[in-house]
Amino acid sequence: MRSATDDDLTARARIRDAALLRFARDGFGAGLRAVAADAGVSPALVLHHFGSKDGLRAACDAHVLERIRLQKEASLTTETPGESMAHLADLTQYGPVFGYVVRSLASGGELASRFVDDMVAATEQYLAAGVAAGTVSPSVDPAGRARYLVAHSVGLLQMALIDAEAGRAPSPTLDPVAAFTALSRWAVVPAMELYTAPLLTEPGLLAAALDQLDREEP
């Protein structure tokens, strides 16, 4: 039998998931009444669980970042390649997260900057887990590598917006599942190739870059 606590937790998750989609579609100016209507609850219940719209957004941010971190960590430590690709193919699961991240970055400002910093921290964590598991090569600059990968992802999300504006793909905020599907069709194979096989065949380039940095140090 479901307890009152179970129902409370389910309502909280339902509100949060409704907010992910509503914020992705309409931006962070969307009101709590709209989120409550989407979740099938009262505005008072939204406030009961999250305190304010800022509290709801903070919960959405934390949920999205944790989902990304956990899935990336699992793909690098416990899952087979086939399992990782199967999870990526579950587009209905990742579409809302994709749309929310695009909207968060497009909104700009201090909250977007903080969201990027949190993405970098989460990326550094799951890469460290991969290094410990032996599935990721160690880095001479773990923090820098994590930030570079996030920058690469941000560029990919910006590409999704550009493709949508040009009519080449669905909007990542209005139809995140379809947009994530379109992005995956062309991006997954090049990404896996880039990450699993060296792009450049000259290994001395890294040593040269490190040497140049040493020379530039005051």
Band (82; pLDDT cuts 50, 70, 90): confident
Instruction: Looking at 134-175, list the stretches that DSSP marks H as alpha helix, in order from N- to C-terminal side.
Output: 142-165
Span 22-39, average pLDDT: 94
**DSSP secondary structure letter of residue 173:** T
Span 28-34, average pLDDT: 94
Give the per-residue pLDDT at 6: 45
* CA separation for the pair 83, 104 (Å, rounded): 29
Per-residue pLDDT of 131-161, as tens digits, reads: 999 999 999 999 999 999 999 999 998 899 9
Give the per-residue pLDDT at 90: 67
Provide the 3-class DSSP secondary structure of residue 52: coil
pTM given for the model = 0.82
Q: Which domains does the chain have, with CATH numbers?
A: 60-216 (1.10.357.10)
Residue that wins the pLDDT comparison between 67 and 86: 67
Give the per-residue pLDDT at 62: 92
